[in-house]
Amino acid sequence: MQKHYLLTPGPTPIPPEVALKEALPILHHRTNEFGTIYKDVVEGLKYVFQTKNEVYLLAASGTGSMEMAIANLLSPDDEIIVASCGNFGDRWIKIAQSYGVNVISTSVEWGKVVNPAEIEKALKENPNVKAVYTTFTETSTGVVNDIKKIGEVVAKTNAVLVVDAISGLAGQEFRTDDWKIDVVVSGSQKGFMLAPGLAFISFSEKAWKLTEASKLPKFYFDIKKYKKSYATNETPFTPPVTLIVALQESIRLIKERGIENMWNDYKLLAKAARSAMKALGLELFGEVPCEVVTSACVPTEIGGKIVKTLREKYGVSIAGGQGNLKGKIIRFAHMGYIGKADLLVGFACLEMTLAELGFNVEKGKAVAAAEAALLDS
């Protein structure tokens, strides 16, 4: 009977009208009926991605679409630049190295944002670089990178720009075409308000040219297979039908609200979350905080216990730090189907949790700060 409040950066809560679509009788995937849904979903994805490029769907975690963006663009011993600022950025390096690709790193310390000038310098010094890989919102630390600026830098070269927008898409301003991003990968379980299991990838013309020369082995992740099936509103392998049917509903909700309104909604939630953290006396973590998750430093003596206590006593799930940040930060998500009231629930329970763990906290203060920020919009 524990009631759950999910304030984690993925999976995020699913609106009931979306969740119920998952329970509808299943359709066969090689039918006109499913094809119509698939086509509608693809158009919706293009809207959320803000792109005219095709967007492909596959059954995989977000990491699967990241691997797709490595395996289809490169050959062994190719050079790439990875600009990482956290755990998910580092994943680009690990995938590339698994495939024998040479990584030139312009990575920065976790908590910082990547430096477009460093990428520019690395591109000049390494004219053979095939692609630059980076992250939009890095949820492991809670920062957002200046993808628009990076897009300007990379577009002037022969390299393509690949961005992991798994957590930020539909949560914070992101414009694939205007920002000149060649490949964007994303997943279902964050801003799309859906269960995990579906991944997305968009490919520009410039990126398609690279696929012609790519010699890395691939089969399930071979994007040419997806492009071929796309022409008939199909996927090369049996797709996760129920998730795609549910995605149509969540895209309908996104369109109804309007993507720019959604960006503004989360911007406000982010402002309120930052105010609440400060009111608790917790220092914000991250050079440029993103608008889908708020990270704050916590005293290391209670750092490991906050997430556990919140979940076990109140059913509230937030996230702790990853890697070296374990026990040092907490991460409070405001993406997808998380609203104002959820934020207040989260901070009220966080106040009680901190008090229980012996942290000096003035009860109600974080909630008051969040309320003030929310009312100030």
Candidate ranges 12-20, 135-143, 152-160, 338-346; the one touching its own copies (CB under 8 A): 12-20
Integer Cα distance of 338 and 15 in angstroms: 9
Instruction: Report CA 89 to chain centroid distance, whole Å.
Output: 11
**Tokens 């006109």, residue located:** 32
Cβ proximity to its own copies, 116 vs 327, nearer residue:
327
Q: Dmax over Cα atoms in the chain, in whole Å?
A: 61
Degrees, nearest 5: CA angle 199-205-207? 60
Integer Cα distance of 265 and 249 in angstroms: 20
**18 backbone dihedrals φ, ψ, rounded to 5°:** -80, -45
Integer Cα distance of 142 and 328 in angstroms: 13
DSSP H/E element including 187: strand 183-187
- HSE-up (13 A, CA, CB side) for residue 173: 9
Integer Cα distance of 280 and 346 in angstroms: 13
Q: Least CB distance from residue 354 to its own copies, whole Å?
A: 21
Q: Establish if 232 lies at the interface with its own copies (CB under 8 A).
A: no
Q: Kindly state the number of chain residues that form the binding site for its own copies, as judged by CB under 8 A.
A: 56
Q: Least CB distance from residue 266 to its own copies, whole Å?
A: 19
Q: Establish if 317 lies at the interface with its own copies (CB under 8 A).
A: yes
- And the tokens for 330? 């907490």
Q: Least CB distance from residue 20 to its own copies, whole Å?
A: 5
Q: Least CB distance from residue 63 to its own copies, whole Å?
A: 5
Site string for its own copies, 198-227 (x = CB under 8 A): x-----------------xxxxxxx-----
Q: Establish if 330 lies at the interface with its own copies (CB under 8 A).
A: no
Q: Do the strands 160-164 and 183-187 form a parallel or antiparallel pair, or are they unpaired? A: parallel
Q: Is 99 helix (H, G, I), strand (E, B) or coil?
A: coil
Cβ proximity to its own copies, 25 vs 232, nearer residue:
25
Q: Establish if 6 lies at the interface with its own copies (CB under 8 A).
A: yes
Q: Establish if 130 lies at the interface with its own copies (CB under 8 A).
A: no
Considering only residues 41 to 70 of the shown chain, the ones binding its own copies according to CB under 8 A are 59-64, 67
Candidate ranges 146-154, 178-186, 192-200, 292-300; the one touching its own copies (CB under 8 A): 192-200
Residues contributing to the site for its own copies (CB under 8 A):
2, 4, 6, 8, 10-14, 16, 19-20, 22-29, 31, 33, 59-64, 67, 94-95, 98-100, 187, 189, 195-198, 216-222, 237-243, 311, 317
